[in-house]
Amino acid sequence: MKINWNADKRNSIGSSTGRLSVEGTRAVEVRPSATSKQQIAALLDLLDLHLSNAQVAQPVHPREVTLRVPVPSSEARGAIGTLVDALVAPVQVNVLEQAVNGDWSLAATGWDASNVEEYPGWPALLQRPRPVPDLVSRVVRATSLSSLRAYPMLSTSAGWSLRLEGLEIGRTDGKRVRLKVGKDGKLGDRSLQRRTWIESTGHSEPFQTGDVEVAAKAIASFAKSWQALGQTRADHDEHALESRILRGATPIDVGGKPLSLIQQDDGVVNWGSQFPTKWGPGGKARYLDALLRDGSTPWAVEMKVQGGAGVGQYYRHAVAQAVLYREFIRRAFVLHPWFEMRGLDATRCQGAVVVPRLTNPRHAHWRARVTDLCAAFEVTFVEVDPSHALRH
């Protein structure tokens, strides 16, 4: 049977995902060298093609599809199983893997997210008190910048990240601040952020200080130069959108009602950021963009702006992330005390995908497709004012 490995721009599918039919079902296959991320993404590619009734060369089964992953990673096995279990659309997904002799057979998928051996240190880290260090509060307040916030690094014992509209500009242990933006590339190339940092502060190397005024002066100098670029640039940035959502500047309406911050805004900390999760056994920590609430119900929020990989592919990945974050939170019972301390019921966690409103007519058809894909997993699709995603 012939596999089409050509990129499909109309359906926003790259050459890493092949399309074919298997025993009368619509199917996709990934290459043997596919990464864990590509293996997981292929399932969403397949479901989007199915739900949108994308054109195929021959008739296929209306309620059955096939995903072929030659060599599934441990993480992908777990994640794909979780996604298939969470699917509420009336479609059967056959997941196949390839034996050494080339034969295909049903793959073992799924994992036990409640197995604390997969994340042994997390319960203790999350249970540790997280008072805001005096140094952190003083530095943030000294700059008088509403866009500067501290983020608790929940997978560390005492770490805090300092971010200007989502861009990390430093870290602190509460005793000293270590400031830097990015790093030079292998050939000495520098991002716009890093160039602006060096030009505005004079620091090409990370520098540490326990002096509030020294830290605040460097941050304010960079902020003035960085934000001035907004007068000539209109590019979008996920971290900027995340920062505005986490401090309540960008409302997220679900069913006509705005979600709330998980903790009252104090003007210093963006609470609800970077909650650690895992998608499958052996996988690395995957950090949630934003955790919001509706009363006692937590909401796992994944946000995306238009990406270089194409709107459809980028937004499909967001749907997978929202589902995997939501399901981990529901099932990781040993982490539920963290939620209970905040009056939240983790077993009722919901998921949402948030994107800037689609204004380009060429992308209009993706609104319906992404909405349908979200509905297939009981995820809410939310569009916000595009200006809330501006980098500067």
**Average pLDDT score over the chain:** 94
137 and 72 inside one domain: no
Question: Are the CB atoms for 180 and 198 separated by under 8 Å?
Answer: no
Residue 203 pLDDT > 90: yes
* pLDDT-based confidence at residue 57 (cuts at 50, 70, 90): confident
Q: Which tens digit of pLDDT belongs to each residue from 354-382?
A: 999 988 887 888 999 999 999 999 999 99
Task: Give a yes or no: residue 7 inside a domain.
Answer: no
Q: Write down the pTM of the prediction.
A: 0.93
Q: Which of 231, 266, 291 is the last residue of a domain?
A: 231
379 and 350 inside one domain: yes
223 and 244 inside one domain: no
179 and 307 inside one domain: no
Task: Give a yes or no: residue 12 inside a domain.
Answer: no
Q: Which of 106, 136, 171 is the last residue of a domain?
A: 106
In the structure encoding, which two tokens stand for residue 179, read together? 């400031």
Task: Give a yes or no: residue 168 inside a domain.
Answer: yes
245 and 227 inside one domain: no
* Residue range(s) defining the domain that contains residue 26: 17-106
Residue 190 pLDDT > 90: yes
Task: Give a yes or no: residue 33 inside a domain.
Answer: yes
Reference 16, options 84, 86, 69, 79; nearest CA is: 69
Reference 355, options 324, 392, 326, 380; nearest CA is: 380
Is the C-alpha dihedral spanning 334, 335, 337, 339 positive or negative? negative
Task: Give a yes or no: residue 112 inside a domain.
Answer: no
pLDDT reported for residue 308: 55
Domain count, the chain: 3
In the structure encoding, which two tokens stand for residue 95, read together? 């997941």
99 and 140 inside one domain: no
Q: C-alpha distances in angstroms, 41 versus 17, 80, 238, 241, 248? A: 9, 9, 19, 23, 31
326 and 381 inside one domain: yes
Question: Are the CB atoms for 311 and 114 separated by under 8 Å?
Answer: no
Region of 357 please: left (phi>0), alpha (psi -120 to 50) or beta. beta
216 and 258 inside one domain: no
Task: Give a yes or no: residue 253 inside a domain.
Answer: yes
358 and 264 inside one domain: yes
Reference 339, options 243, 252, 262, 285; nearest CA is: 262
Residue 376's SS3 state is: helix
Question: Are the CB atoms for 372 and 319 separated by under 8 Å?
Answer: no
How far does the chain reach from its first CA to its final CA, in angstroms?
50
Reference 197, options 184, 188, 187, 210; nearest CA is: 184
* pLDDT-based confidence at residue 253 (cuts at 50, 70, 90): very high
Q: Residue 377 contacts by C-beta under 8 Å, 6 or more apart in sequence?
A: 83, 86, 87, 88, 89, 319, 322, 323, 351
Q: Which of 231, 248, 278 is the last residue of a domain?
A: 231
170 and 310 inside one domain: no
How confident is the model over 232-255, as a mean pLDDT?
89
Residue 84 pLDDT > 90: yes
pLDDT reported for residue 307: 59
242 and 155 inside one domain: no
Is the C-alpha dihedral spanning 381, 270, 143, 177 positive or negative? negative
Task: Give a yes or no: residue 8 inside a domain.
Answer: no
Instruction: Tell me which amino acid residue 298 is.
Output: P
188 and 327 inside one domain: no
Task: Give a yes or no: residue 111 inside a domain.
Answer: no
Q: Which tens digit of pLDDT belongs to each residue from 219-231?
A: 999 999 998 886 5
